[in-house]
Amino acid sequence: MHRLAIAPAALWLASLAPALALAQSTLDPFGQATSGDAACPVVTQRQLSPDEMRAEAHVRAERGTRCAMEGTCEPGGAYRRDPEINAQVIAAIGADKRFLDTAVWVETSRKWVTLRGCVRSRGQHNALVAFVRKQPRVERVFDELRKPTR
């Protein structure tokens, strides 16, 4: 049984080999949901060095093995649905008129969504975070939004 649980993690780790060969790379889906605040500094996705990629791949393989052995993640691992979750959250934020004057970027890692960028008011901030928390398959929201002090 343990061999079967480890196999998906080993296959996933092997699939990272081409990415590990690059000088800089990323792992998690990332994209801009809104661009209505031109004064907001552009958020860029963190680029990982080859050493950082290897370390992160090791951590992710351990997580995948553990959740497979415990039966707490779906086949394919905890990160499998991240691209579609990220795209769905970006589309939902972009379609909601309450957030048109924001500049928001979204990154997803194992169903955990990180919001970065700028909002115009505390009320808008609270509404955006609550909105994303309610999106299907989002397990946790990390709020790194810049909020006005007024």
Q: Given pLDDT bands bounded at 50, 70 and 90, which one contains residue 113?
A: very high
Total residue length of the chain? 150
Question: How many Cβ atoms from other residues are within 10 Å of residue 21's Cβ?
Answer: 10
At 15, the pLDDT band (50, 70, 90 cuts) reads low
Please report where in the chains the tokens 């589309």 appear, as a residue: 91
User: What is the pLDDT of the chain when averaged over all its residues?
Assistant: 86
Average pLDDT over residues 96-118: 97
**The pLDDT of residue 81:** 93
* pLDDT bucket at 74, cuts 50 / 70 / 90: confident
pTM (two decimals): 0.79
Residue 48 has pLDDT above 50, yes or no: yes
d(CA 33, CA 149): 23
- Residue 1 is predicted with a pLDDT of 47
